Amino acid sequence: MLNSQRIFVEAIRRYCADHHITVEVRADGWLIVMRGGGKRHCAFGYDLGLNSAVAHRIANDKSATADVLAMADVPCVPHVLFLNPELNAYVPSRGSWGAMLALLQQHPQGVVVKPNEGTSGKSVFLVSSAPALELAVNKIFAAHASLAMSPFLAIEHEVRVVLLDGTPLVVYGKDRPTVLGDGEHSLLELALTTLPADRRSAVLPGLFADVEKAVLDAIVPAGERRVLNWRHNLEFGARPRLVEQGEDRDICIALAQRAAEAIGIRFASIDVVRVDRGWQILEVNSGVMMEALSKLHPELVQAAYGAALDKVFG
């Protein structure tokens, strides 16, 4: 899909048409300039420009987000920052490798290594050995100035809350793809036969990358459900599902509101995860992306972006 065809761009165009605001789309859809009511306003990427520069920078930095939330006593997944060795003037004299190994030893179930900045789950690795850690670190540092390490958690559920000035606009879960064993077919066979064709390109690369061949080829016992990806990212095959009214939804909203207040962010999508029946913040995203959700609930996505644009144009 071209950048100019994103739902984000279409939602802005529709809003501007309904409110007699002129709109120009530049840079293949990444830059949008709006003029109306004596005001000129820009949107860039998935950022509508409501957040301060500091709030945006903190939300875009996983370790900074974790530090700010921890200081505000908001339950969150810790993320430890490590700089690329090429930034040697800012790296401790003792180096970073020893500290990375120490973190891995503290979490024998594994650690997640990812670029410290960025979204969408790309270049995110689950590692449980020193050689795998070294490979992941080298891959990330080949393209990024820093990385973040966090303990691997057996996440039961992940919920995204889209907030605007503390008001929840959208609350949806991310359901990972699964298969149900029949006692006759392997995990790979089940994945190939049960996944819809339009989801295979998103799910299968992660399955091949993360699951050992012996596990892929092993017969899955009848009645046993297997998750096909440890990630909850929508780009890797998870599907959005609106969260019904109830205690869990209220808890997620309350935590997201506390996180937004701590960072001072106005418009954001905040990921809340449940681990061992307790909820905590995973990430805060300054750019609000709802491409996957729009395929199921286009009117809800349009209303959310419209509410944010109302704040811009009064």
pLDDT of residue 4: 57
The yes/no answer on whether domain 78-152 falls in CATH 3.30.1490.20 is: yes
Alpha carbon dihedral 308, 49, 124, 231, in 10-degree steps, equals: 0
The size of the chain, in residues, is 314
The pLDDT assigned to 234 comes to 73
What pLDDT does 270 receive?
97
Q: Where is 36: in which H helix or E strand?
A: strand 31-36
Whole-number pLDDT of residue 1: 47
pTM: predicted TM-score of the whole model, two decimal places: 0.89
* CATH code for the structural domain at 3-50+301-313: 3.30.250
Give start-end residues of each CATH 3.30.250 domain in the chain.
3-50+301-313
Q: What kind and span of H or E run contains 275?
A: strand 267-275
pLDDT given for residue 199 in this prediction: 80
- Predicted pLDDT at 121: 63
**Which residues of the chain are in CATH 3.30.1490.20 domains?**
78-152
Distance, CA of 139 to CA of 254 (rounded, Å) = 37
Note down pLDDT in tens along the chain; length 314 residues: 455 568 999 999 999 999 999 999 999 899 999 999 889 999 999 999 999 999 999 999 999 999 999 999 999 999 999 999 888 777 777 778 999 999 999 998 999 999 999 766 678 999 999 999 999 999 999 999 999 999 999 899 999 999 999 999 999 999 888 888 889 888 888 888 888 887 888 788 777 777 778 888 889 999 888 887 777 677 767 889 999 999 999 999 999 999 999 999 999 999 999 998 899 999 999 999 999 999 999 999 999 999 999 999 98
Tokens of 232: 């909850």
